[in-house]
């Protein structure tokens, strides 16, 4: 799989559209996206904007961005670059910036399976019976790399089933398998608390499917057409919001392990990382043109 070149020309920040009082986000149900979206909403609210976020399927999100019904989406993981590339080609979606770098996204197995000899994509087919010829993925629309691999019969995996459910559904299946020491291969990624919850091993040899370095890539923030010209102040903020692995891992753990609401976890992480938050505000103002830092400071105390 080759990296797809997206239009990354920087937006031109200008006069804020007077109608731009509310910013409408979309989410997919992923824990990392719940955390990052709530973080952005908290900052925008402090700056005087109204916000809302809808839970939608990936395909609906891109249609809604293209139609202008959704303003922004912080979850453009590399998996979306292939399936939804036509939206970028016809400028139905614009890229504001990158919000996380050096991610990991590829197939993984419990480490006891790796210790038994399955360490590469090329080892899977020889053990098809033990895996039930199944690969566990997440939501439909998010498993295109795996589906294409199976459809193309790569790595001897023609005829395997790709089980599509949800992040939580997949993790529950992995936990069940691990508890019984069953064999399972699943879609793994970082940042995510799964990396500490499970003793897991990412499989090598999948560069042709997910790209090099275990699918290492960049998560981007995307928006509807003309969002940067309609709402340049809000767009500048969203373009500058960049997370760290530590921020996301710790925040997701609070949501998944401690059952903290995503907004509370986001606020907690912001308060633990004030310098990171202040860095997002360079050149940004409140909705009515006042200094952004003064408006956000009370949120971080």
- Give the global pTM: 0.79
The answer to whether the peptide bond before residue 191 is cis (omega within 30 degrees of 0) is: yes
CATH number at residue 273: 3.40.190.10
Checking if the pLDDT of 279 tops 50, the result is yes
Distance CA(159)–CA(227), nearest Å, equals 43
Question: When comparing pLDDT for 276 and 1, which is higher?
Answer: 276
Does residue 236 share a domain with residue 192? no
Question: pLDDT of 118-143, one tens digit each?
Answer: 999 999 999 999 999 999 999 887 89
User: What is the rounded average pLDDT of the residues 242-248?
Assistant: 95
Checking if the pLDDT of 286 tops 90, the result is yes
- Listing from the earlier edge strand, what are the strands of the sheet with 50-55? 50-55, 22-27, 72-76, 219-223, 94-100
7: confidence class by pLDDT, cuts 50, 70, 90: very low
pLDDT of residue 236: 97
pLDDT of residue 3: 38
8: confidence class by pLDDT, cuts 50, 70, 90: very low
Question: Is 94 inside a domain boundary?
Answer: yes
Question: Last residue of some domain: 180, 215, 250?
Answer: 215
For residue 191, the enclosing domain spans: 104-215
pLDDT of residue 216: 84
Could you say which DSSP state residue 127 is in? Answer: G
- Which residue(s) pair with 105 in the sheet? 189
Checking if the pLDDT of 14 tops 50, the result is no
Share of the chain above pLDDT 70, in %: 92
* Residues 133 and 160: beta-carbon distance below 8 Å: yes
Does residue 119 share a domain with residue 69? no
Question: pLDDT of 50-90, one tens digit each?
Answer: 999 999 988 999 999 999 999 999 999 876 666 788 999 99
Does residue 253 share a domain with residue 117? no
* Residues 118 and 202: beta-carbon distance below 8 Å: no
Average pLDDT of the chain is 91
pLDDT of residue 92: 95
Checking if the pLDDT of 280 tops 50, the result is yes
pLDDT of residue 159: 96
Question: Last residue of some domain: 191, 215, 239?
Answer: 215
Question: Last residue of some domain: 193, 215, 237?
Answer: 215
Question: pLDDT of 181-205, one tens digit each?
Answer: 999 999 999 999 999 899 999 999 9
Structure tokens at 14: 């200008």
Q: What are phi and psi of 90, to 5 degrees?
A: -100, 15
pLDDT of residue 249: 92
User: What is the rounded average pLDDT of the residues 2-6?
Assistant: 38
């Amino acid at each position: 799989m080759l990296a797809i070149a997206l239009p990354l020309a920087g937006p031109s920040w200008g006069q804020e559209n007077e109608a731009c009082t509310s910013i409408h986000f979309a989410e997919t149900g992923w824990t990392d996206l719940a955390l990052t979206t709530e973080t952005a909403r908290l900052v925008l609210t402090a700056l005087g904007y109204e916000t809302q976020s809808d839970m939608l399927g990936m395909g609906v999100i891109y249609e809604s961005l293209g139609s202008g019904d959704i303003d922004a989406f912080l979850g453009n993981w590399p998996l979306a670059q292939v399936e939804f590339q036509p939206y970028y080609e016809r400028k139905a979606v614009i890229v504001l910036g990158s919000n996380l770098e050096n991610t990991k996204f590829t197939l993984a197995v419990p480490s006891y399976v790796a210790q038994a000899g399955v360490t590469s994509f090329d080892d899977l087919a020889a053990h098809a019976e033990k895996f039930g010829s199944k690969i566990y993925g997440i939501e439909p629309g998010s498993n295109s790399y795996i589906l294409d691999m199976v459809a193309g019969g790569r790595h001897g995996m023609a005829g395997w089933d790709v089980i599509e459910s949800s992040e939580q559904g997949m993790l529950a299946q992995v936990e069940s398998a691990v508890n019984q020491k069953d064999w399972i291969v699943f879609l793994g990624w970082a940042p995510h608390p799964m990396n500490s919850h499970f003793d897991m091993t990412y499989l090598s040899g999948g560069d042709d499917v997910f790209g090099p370095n275990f699918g290492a890539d960049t998560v981007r923030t995307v928006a509807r057409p003309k969002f940067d010209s309609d709402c340049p102040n809000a767009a500048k903020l969203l373009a500058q919001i960049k997370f760290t692995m530590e921020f996301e891992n710790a925040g997701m753990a609070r949501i998944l392990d401690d059952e903290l609401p995503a907004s509370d976890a986001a606020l907690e992480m912001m308060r633990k990382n004030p310098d990171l938050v202040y860095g997002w505000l360079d050149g940004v103002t409140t909705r009515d043109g006042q200094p952004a830092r003064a408006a956000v400071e009370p949120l971080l105390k």
